[in-house]
Structure 1
Amino acid sequence: MSSAVLTRSAPVVKPLALACAVSLSFIAAGAFAQDQASPMVVITGSRFPTDAGQAPIGATVITAADIRRAGINDVDQAIRKVGGVYGRQSLDGSPDFALDLRGFGSNSAQNMVIMVDGVRLNENELASTILATIPIDSVERIEINRGGSSVLFGEGATGGVIQIFTRRAGQAGTHGSMFAEAGQFNQRDARGSLTHRVGNVSLDAAVQKQQTDNYRANNDFTQTSFSGGAQVAYDGGRAGLRLESARQDARFPGSLSLEQFQANPRRTTSPNDFGSLDRDRIGAFAEYRVGGFELATELSHVKRDVKATYVSDFGTTRIAYASRQTQFSPRLRQLSEIGGMPNELVAGVDWTRWQRKTDSEFSRANAHQDAKALYLRDELRFNKERDGRVALGVRRELFDKDYADPLAFDPAPERGTQGLNAWEVEGSYGVLPQLNLFAKAGQSFRVANVDENSYRASSGLLAPQTSHDIELGARLGDAGRQLTARVFRHNLRNEIFFDPTQNGGWGANTNLDPTRREGFELDGQAALAGNLRASAHLQHVKARFTEGPNAGREMVLVPKNVVTARLAWLPGDGQTADVGAQWVDSQRYGSDFTNGCDARIPSYTTFDARYARTFGAWEFALSGLNLADRRYFSNAFGCKAGIYPSDGRQFKVSMRHDF
C-alpha cells in the first residue's frame, strides 16, 4: 500500500462528522419532547449505591442489555463501542486495547483508574489494566466518569474513572446461558454462566474460553477465565465473596516499519517471541445500614504472574514478573438533612500494599509500595425541582516506595516517601425543567510507578505529577432524548512521561515541562421513530506543551478528534440490528516530541455491525468488524516505524441459549 493510499481517510471526515452533527442536532431538537420514565439504574458516584437521579453529572452508564444488544464479547470492547472511549490496538493480540480518556497517549493507562466491584485494578507498573479476564456475562453494568477524580479514587485519576460491576443477587431460582461463536482468523469463543438464588442467598458463576490466530502471523492468543461469587442479604445490608481466575497465552508479532506495513501488514518481525499471564483475584465485601449511616468495605488480594521470551540475533531473553497486591477500603456514609435539604457525607480509607519480584538475566529487582489514603466528601442537595447540588471533597495520600536490584549499576536499596493532596468543588443546577448546568474544579495527581522510576532521567525518584482540572457543562433533555456537552482543561505540572530525546537519544522516563489537555466532549442518545435508538460521542482534545523548549508543540499519540456513533434497530419481534462507526483523527508518531517527523499516523474510519434473531430461548447472530477492511494502525512508537497494525475485516457467527 502506498503512502498516498494511507492518507485517503481524510475525505471521510466531513461526511462522518456531518452525520454525527445531524444526529446530535436531532437529539437536541427533540430534547423538550414529552418526558419519559427514567430507568432505575443503580450508580455509585460516591462509592456507595444510589439511584439514577443522583448519578454523577455527565456519567456514561452501560447496562448488561446494552452489551448484549451490541454483541459485545469483552469488557474493553464494551467501553470502546458503547461508551465511546478511544482505544489503541493491543501489542500482544489480546482483546485489551489501550483505553484513553482525555488524550494522555501512551501513558493513558497511568492517567485513568479502573475499578471492579469497588476494587482498584491499576497496579504500580506500566502494564495496562487487564480487562479481558472479566467474563462479559458476569457484568451487570459499567460506569464511565470522565475528568479529574482523585478525591474518591486516588492517584492516576486525572483522565477519569471506569467502574465495572458484576452481578448482584439475581432472580429467584436457577438461570443461565450458553454461548458459542466462530469467526475468521480461526476465532472461537465459548462461554457459559449460571445463577442460583434461594431466599437471601445467591450464587453465580461464569466461565469463558477464547482462542484466535489473530490478523497477524505469530499472534495466536488463548485465554480461559472464571468468575464466581456468593452473597447473602440480611436486614440492613449484604455480604459476599468473589473469585476470579484467568490464564493467557500469547505470541508476539513485533512492530513494523512503514514500508513493511504497506507491503504486508500481516507479517511478523519476531516469529519466536511469546508469553503468558496468570491472574487470580479473591475478594470479600460487606455492607450494613443502621439509621442514617451506611458502612461498607472491600478486602481484595490479586496474584499476577507474567512470563515472556524474546528471541533476537543477540540471543534469547527470558523475563518473569510475580506481583501481589492487597487492598482494604472501609468507608462510611451519613445521609441526613441540613435545613430540610438532603446531605450526603462520605469518609473513607484506602490502603494498598503492592510488591513485585523480577527474574531475568538483567534484573533481580524486588519492589514494594504501600499507599495509605484518607478522603472526605460532602454533597448538599437543594431545590429538589431544579436538582441543585454542591459538593466539596479532599484527599490525602502517602506513598512509601522501596526498590532494590542486586544486578543494577548501583545495587544500593532505594527508599522514598511521597505525600499528595487532591481536592474538588463541583455543583449543578437545573436552570430549566430539562436543562441542567454543571461545573467542576479540582486537583488530581499521580506518582511514578516502579517501571518509570527504575529507568529515569533524574538522580532521585521522579516528582509526583499534579493537574489542576476544570470542567463546565450542560445536560439537555430527558431519558428519551438527551445531549450532554462538556468543555474541560487539565493543566499539568511534572507530567510523568517517556521522553525519547533523553539519555543521548535512547530515551528515559522524566518529568516534562508543563503540559495541557483541553477540549470539549458531546454525548447524545435518542429513541427515534421506527424502533431506532441512536447514540454518539465526540471528543475534541488539544494536548500540548505550554512551557519550555517544546512550548506549543503537540503531545504524541493523541488524536485531536474522535467520533463514535451507533444506531440500533429494536422492533420487538425477535430481531435486533446494531451498526457502529468510529472516526479517529491523525496523530503524532510516538517518538515525535519535536514535531519534526515529516509524516503523521493517518486518520481512519472503521465500521462494525450485528444482526440477531431469537427463536424462543435461542439467539443466532451474524456480526462483522472493520467491515470496509480498512488498513490502519493506532500504535506507532517511531517516526514511520514501530508500527503495530490493527485488525482487518472479520465476520463471526454465534448462537446463544438462555434457560
Structure 2
Amino acid sequence: MTLITSRCALAAAIALCFAAAAQAQSNTVVVSGSRFASDPSLLPIGATTITAADIRRAGVADVNQAIRKIGGVYGRQSLTGSPDFGLDLRGFGTNSDQNVVIVLDGVRLNENELSSATLSTIPIDMVERIDIMRGGASVLYGEGATGGVIQITTKRSQAGERSGNMFTELGQFDSGEVRASLAQGFDDFAFDASGGHQRADNYRDNNEFKQSRLNGGVKFNTGVGRISLRADIARQDQRFAGSLTEAQFKANPRQTLTPNDFGKLDTDRYTAAWEHKVGAFDLAAELSHRKKEAEATYFSAFGVSSSAYDTKQSQFSPRVRHLGQFNGMLNELVAGFDFGRWNRVTSSAFSAADATQKSKAFYLRDEMKFAGPQQLRLSAGVRRELFDKDSVDPVPFTTATYSVKQANNAWEVQGSMLAAPGLTAWAKLGQSYRVANSDENGFTPQANKPLATQTSHDAEIGLGYAQGAAKVDARVFRHKLDNEIYYDPTAGMFGANTNLAPTRRQGFELDGSYRFAPAWQVQGHFQQVDAEFRSGSNAGRELALVPKNILTVRLAWLPSDGQSADIGVQRVGEQRYGSDFDNSCSTRMPAYTVVDGRYARKFGQWELAATALNMFDKEHFSQAFSCRAGIYPNSGRQLKVSARYDF
C-alpha cells in the first residue's frame, strides 16, 4: 500500500467514524464553486481565503505577496526583479505557473507563454478577497488547473458608499511607492480609480525595477442587468541580474555577472462584464482583451542580443446558472462556454515566429444539496475543449513551425457531508489537463513537433472543522500525471521541453486559524509533497525544484487602541536542483526560514507603519536551474516605513 493510499484510507476511516456519530444541528456548510458571484461565505470546500482585513493587517504590498505570505503558497524568485514571483501549488517545480490558473473577477489572466501573471498590476487596496483552491479544477477553469485555481475578487461599492486612500512608503535598496485610490457608489452607478508608482534597486546589483499603473472601472445597473467596464494599464522597466554559481552566491549573493542586461514590459487589459437574473436563472459573461509588449536586451562575449514580443489575447466567457428546489433538495446547474484567441509576433535575431492559439470549450456542472442533518452535497461536471495551434517562423534553422489541433476532456465528481457538529468530510476525483504553450512548443526534442497534452488523474480526501474561533482543514491528495510537460536539461544536446515519463504528486495539506484571545489570532498552512517519476529510466527518483515541506505561520495582535502587529514565518525544506533529474547532484538546494513583521499605529484617519522583510537577513535562494549553479538569490533584509490616509 502506497503512502498516499494509507493516508486516504486513514482520512476515510476518520470521516466514516464521525459520520456514524452524526447528529442534527443548525450549522450548515454551503459551497459554491460555479464561477458565479455569491456570498463570501459560499466557498468551495477546503479553500483558503484571504480577506481585505488580512491584507491590511499584514501590510503586504501586492497581490502576489499576499498569496505567498498569508495564503502559504510557495513562490520562486522572479528572474526580472519584479515582485511577481512564480507561484507553486502542490509541487510542480519550474513549470508551476503553468499548472495554476489565476482568475481576476471572472477573467483568466494566464497566457499562452512561459511567463507569470502580472499580479503586481492589480491595485491591492481594491481587493476584497483572494480564494485559493488547491487541486484539479479543469472542468470550470480549463487547461492548466491541475495544481489549483487562485480567484481574486475586487470590491464593489454600494449605493451611497465612498472610500479612498493615499499611501506612501520608503525603504532600503532605494525602494519607494506612492499610490492612491477612490471608489464611489450611487443608486445605479459606481466607479473606482487607482494609480501608483513604485521603484526599487532591489537586493542585487543591476536588478532595478520600476512600475507605473493606472486602473479604473465603472459599474451600472440597467433594465437588462449589471454592466461593468474596466481598464488596467501598466508600464514596467526591469534590469536583469542573472544567475550565479554556488561559489559566487556564497562569496557575494548581491553581485551580478550581467551588469548591462535590461528589459521592459507594457500591459493593457480591458474588460467588459455583464450579469442578469431572470427568475431562477443567472446569466453572466465577460469579454476581455489584453495587449502586452515585452522587450529584452542581453550583452555577452558574443555581442548584443535583443528581442521583442507583441502579444494580444481576447476571451469571451458566457454562462448560465439555474438554482431550483426539488422536494427539499437544492440543485445548482451551471453551463458555459469559453472562447479564446491568442497571438504573438516575435522579433529577434534567432526567431521571427508568428504564433496563434484558438480555443473553444463547453462545460456542464451540477451540484445537489440534500436536506437532512448530514447536509449531503454531491456534484459532477464535464468539459470538452478544442485547441487550434499554429506557428510560422521564417528564420532559418528554427524549430517553431507547426500546425496542430488538440481535443481535451476533463471531468470531476465531488461529495461532502456534515459528519459531526462543525466537522465536514469530503472526497474529490477528477481528470485535469494542460496543453503546451507557445514557448514550450518552440523548443522541443523533435523540430517543429508540438508536445502532447499533459493529463492528470486527481484524487483528494479531506476533513474540515469550523466551530467558534477555530477553523482547520486537512487534505490528502494525489495527482497521477501522464505526458507531464517539463523542461528536461538532459534532452538532446542543450536540453528541451519534453513530455516526461509518468510522474506523481502526492502529499498532505493542513490549513488552520484560531483566535485564542480577543486581540490575538494565529493562522497557518503546512504542505508536504512527494514528487517523483512513476516509471521510465528515472523511476522512483524525485522531481526537481519541489520542496518536500513548506510551513507558513502568521501571528496577529489586534488590540482595540489603534495598534496592530503581525509577524509571519515561512520554512521551506530542501529540494533538488533544477537539472537533477537522475538525482545525481551531490547536494540539494538548502532549506531556509524567513521571518517578516509589521507594526502599525492609527491616529484618526492616518496610519503609520514599520515593516521588516527577511527580518534576520537570511541568505537563501528559491530558484536554481542546474547543480550548484543557475542560482537566483532571494532578497536579504529590507526595512520600510509607510504612511496611509483613509477618507
- In structure 1, what is the equivalent of residue 578 of structure 2? 590
Would you say the 8 A contact 1:497–1:512 is kept in 2?
Answer: yes
- In structure 1, what is the equivalent of residue 543 of structure 2? 555
1:363 to 332, 346, 351: 351
Would you say the 8 A contact 1:633–1:646 is kept in 2?
Answer: yes
Distance 1:541 1:173, change over 3 A: closer
Would you say the 8 A contact 1:37–1:479 is kept in 2?
Answer: no
Instruction: Work out whether 1:219 is the aligned partner of 2:203.
Output: no
- In the TM superposition, residue 43 of structure 1 has moved relative to its aligned partner by 8.7
Distance 1:327 1:432, change over 3 A: same
Return the alpha-carbon distance in structure 2 between the equivalents of residues 396 and 339 of structure 1: 32
Q: Which amino acid aligns with 1:503?
A: G
- In structure 2, what is the equivalent of residue 468 of structure 1? 457
Distance 1:189 1:410, change over 3 A: closer
Name the SS for the 1:509 alignment partner.
strand
Would you say the 8 A contact 1:138–1:205 is kept in 2?
Answer: no
Would you say the 8 A contact 1:169–1:231 is kept in 2?
Answer: no
Residues 491-549 of structure 1 deviation map (CA, whole Å, 9 limit, x = unaligned): 00000111111112x10011100000000100010111151011010000000001001
- In structure 2, what is the equivalent of residue 325 of structure 1? 313
- In structure 2, what is the equivalent of residue 484 of structure 1? 473
Q: Which amino acid aligns with 2:526?
A: L
Instruction: Work out whether 1:501 is the aligned partner of 2:490.
Output: yes
Point out the more displaced range, 247-256 or 58-67. Answer: 58-67
Residues 84-119 of structure 1 deviation map (CA, whole Å, 9 limit, x = unaligned): 101111111111111100000000001110011111
Runs of 5+ consecutive residues of structure 2 not aligned to the other structure: 1-24
Instruction: Work out whether 1:64 is the aligned partner of 2:52.
Output: yes
- In structure 2, what is the equivalent of residue 128 of structure 1? 116
Q: Which amino acid aligns with 1:202?
A: A
Residues 142-179 of structure 1 deviation map (CA, whole Å, 9 limit, x = unaligned): 11100000000000000000011122224625431000
- In structure 1, what is the equivalent of residue 286 of structure 2? 298
Matches within 5 A, 1:122-201: 122-170=110-158, 172-201=160-189
Distance 1:173 1:411, change over 3 A: closer
Instruction: Work out whether 1:630 is the aligned partner of 2:591.
Output: no
Name the SS for the 1:337 alignment partner.
strand
Name the SS for the 1:231 alignment partner.
strand
- In structure 2, what is the equivalent of residue 245 of structure 1? 233
Return the alpha-carbon distance in structure 2 between the equivalents of residues 289 and 203 of structure 1: 22
Q: Which amino acid aligns with 1:364?
A: A
Would you say the 8 A contact 2:351–2:398 is kept in 1?
Answer: no
Matches within 5 A, 1:70-85: 70-85=58-73
Q: Which amino acid aligns with 2:212?
A: T
Q: Which amino acid aligns with 1:615?
A: F
2:588 to 600, 606, 619: 600
Return the alpha-carbon distance in structure 2 between the equivalents of residues 228 and 568 of structure 1: 32
- In structure 1, what is the equivalent of residue 20 of structure 2? none
Name the SS for the 2:81 alignment partner.
coil
Return the alpha-carbon distance in structure 1 between the equivalents of residues 583 and 122 of structure 2: 39
Matches within 5 A, 1:620-659: 620-659=608-647
1:277 to 265, 272, 282: 265
- In the TM superposition, residue 241 of structure 1 has moved relative to its aligned partner by 0.2
- In structure 2, what is the equivalent of residue 383 of structure 1? 371
Distance 1:463 1:342, change over 3 A: same
Runs of 4+ in 1 over 6 A off after TM superposition: 35-38
- In structure 1, what is the equivalent of residue 19 of structure 2? none
Q: CA RMSD in A?
A: 1.8
- In structure 2, what is the equivalent of residue 103 of structure 1? 91
Residues 415-446 of structure 1 deviation map (CA, whole Å, 9 limit, x = unaligned): 11000000000010001111110000000000
Return the alpha-carbon distance in structure 2 between the equivalents of residues 122 and 233 of structure 1: 29
Name the SS for the 1:241 alignment partner.
strand
Distance 1:549 1:119, change over 3 A: same
Q: Which amino acid aligns with 1:200?
A: D
Q: Which amino acid aligns with 1:252?
A: F
Return the alpha-carbon distance in structure 1 between the equivalents of residues 361 and 181 of structure 2: 37
Q: Which amino acid aligns with 1:160?
A: G
**TM-score w.r.t. structure 2 length?**
0.94
- In the TM superposition, residue 385 of structure 1 has moved relative to its aligned partner by 3.8
Residues 450-502 of structure 1 deviation map (CA, whole Å, 9 limit, x = unaligned): 11111001352211000000000000122520110000000000001111111
Would you say the 8 A contact 1:620–1:655 is kept in 2?
Answer: yes
- In the TM superposition, residue 54 of structure 1 has moved relative to its aligned partner by 3.4
Distance 1:605 1:410, change over 3 A: closer
Would you say the 8 A contact 2:400–2:443 is kept in 1?
Answer: no
Return the alpha-carbon distance in structure 2 between the equivalents of residues 623 and 385 of structure 1: 47
Return the alpha-carbon distance in structure 2 between the equivalents of residues 97 and 488 of structure 1: 25
Runs of 5+ consecutive residues of structure 1 not aligned to the other structure: 1-34
Instruction: Work out whether 1:392 is the aligned partner of 2:373.
Output: no
Distance 1:371 1:638, change over 3 A: same
Return the alpha-carbon distance in structure 2 between the equivalents of residues 171 and 572 of structure 1: 29
Distance 1:211 1:368, change over 3 A: same
Return the alpha-carbon distance in structure 1 between the equivalents of residues 644 and 468 of structure 2: 30
- In structure 2, what is the equivalent of residue 610 of structure 1? 598
Would you say the 8 A contact 2:27–2:422 is kept in 1?
Answer: no
Return the alpha-carbon distance in structure 2 between the equivalents of residues 384 and 490 of structure 1: 33
Return the alpha-carbon distance in structure 2 between the equivalents of residues 170 and 261 of structure 1: 52
Return the alpha-carbon distance in structure 2 between the equivalents of residues 454 and 130 of structure 1: 23
Would you say the 8 A contact 2:408–2:433 is kept in 1?
Answer: yes
Return the alpha-carbon distance in structure 2 between the equivalents of residues 481 and 235 of structure 1: 44
- In structure 1, what is the equivalent of residue 7 of structure 2? none
Return the alpha-carbon distance in structure 1 between the equivalents of residues 97 and 521 of structure 2: 31
Return the alpha-carbon distance in structure 2 between the equivalents of residues 67 and 37 of structure 1: 28
Return the alpha-carbon distance in structure 2 between the equivalents of residues 120 and 57 of structure 1: 21
Instruction: Work out whether 1:258 is the aligned partner of 2:246.
Output: yes
Would you say the 8 A contact 1:87–1:97 is kept in 2?
Answer: yes
Q: Which amino acid aligns with 1:488?
A: F
Would you say the 8 A contact 2:549–2:572 is kept in 1?
Answer: yes
Would you say the 8 A contact 1:141–1:166 is kept in 2?
Answer: yes
Return the alpha-carbon distance in structure 2 between the equivalents of residues 389 and 337 of structure 1: 14
Would you say the 8 A contact 2:225–2:275 is kept in 1?
Answer: yes
Return the alpha-carbon distance in structure 1 between the equivalents of residues 320 and 266 of structure 2: 34
Return the alpha-carbon distance in structure 1 between the equivalents of residues 286 and 407 of structure 2: 24
Would you say the 8 A contact 2:399–2:443 is kept in 1?
Answer: no
Would you say the 8 A contact 2:362–2:383 is kept in 1?
Answer: yes
Distance 1:407 1:556, change over 3 A: same
Distance 1:94 1:53, change over 3 A: closer
Return the alpha-carbon distance in structure 2 between the equivalents of residues 595 and 392 of structure 1: 40
Return the alpha-carbon distance in structure 1 between the equivalents of residues 513 and 282 of structure 2: 34
Return the alpha-carbon distance in structure 2 between the equivalents of residues 473 and 250 of structure 1: 43
1:619 to 597, 603, 607: 607
- In the TM superposition, residue 411 of structure 1 has moved relative to its aligned partner by 8.1
Name the SS for the 1:68 alignment partner.
helix
